[in-house]
């Protein structure tokens, strides 16, 4: 009976250790001050610091003026990929602050919010 209990505890510990872990260097994409008509594409580097493949299941913008491209392929442990983000209102003058919700299979951080900000000037 004791052997089964110890074996069961070890099995549970192993399964919780074999997990993906999402990591980004910054949760903000800061365009800074950009010239009207500039390129609105930026890339966010996403790492898997876990021990199982990381899946980005969705990248949902807060508005139609932000167009993300969320990679479909799994990110293997120790590897990284990029989420491409296109702010499409680079002809509209003024400050902007938007957000992007990234959902993954990381059990400890399934949702991640990325802030997108900057200022478009003449």
Mean pLDDT of all residues belonging to the chain: 90
Q: What is the DSSP letter of 91?
A: T
Q: Using an 8 Å Cβ cutoff, are 27 and 114 in contact?
A: yes
Give the per-residue pLDDT at 17. 80
32, two tokens: 């800074």
pTM confidence score: 0.83
Strand order in the sheet with 94-104: 28-35, 111-121, 94-104, 56-61
Q: What is the pLDDT of residues 50-90, one digit of tens each?
A: 999 999 999 999 999 999 999 999 999 999 999 999 999 99
Between β-strands 56-61 and 22-24, what pairing exists: parallel, antiparallel or unpaired?
unpaired
- Superfamily covering domain 20-121: Immunoglobulins (2.60.40.10)
Q: What is the pLDDT of residues 39-58, one digit of tens each?
A: 999 999 999 999 999 999 99
CA atoms within 13 A on the CB side of 110: 3
> Where are the chain's structural domains?
20-121
Tokens 């293997």 sit on residue: 76
Query: How far is it, in rounded angstroms, from Cα 44 to Cα 68?
Result: 10
């Amino acid at each position: 009976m004791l052997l089964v209990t110890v074996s069961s505890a070890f099995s549970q510990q192993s399964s919780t250790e074999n997990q993906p872990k999402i990591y980004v260097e910054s949760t903000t994409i800061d365009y800074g001050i950009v010239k009207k008509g500039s390129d609105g594409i930026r890339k966010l580097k996403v790492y898997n610091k876990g021990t199982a493949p990381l899946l980005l299941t969705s990248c949902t913008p807060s508005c139609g003026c932000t167009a993300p491209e969320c990679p479909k392929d799994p990110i293997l442990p120790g590897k990284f990929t990029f989420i491409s983000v296109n702010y499409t209102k680079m002809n509209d003058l003024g400050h902007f602050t938007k957000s992007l919700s990234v959902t993954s299979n990381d059990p400890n951080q399934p949702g991640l919010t990325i802030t997108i900000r900057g200022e478009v000037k003449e």
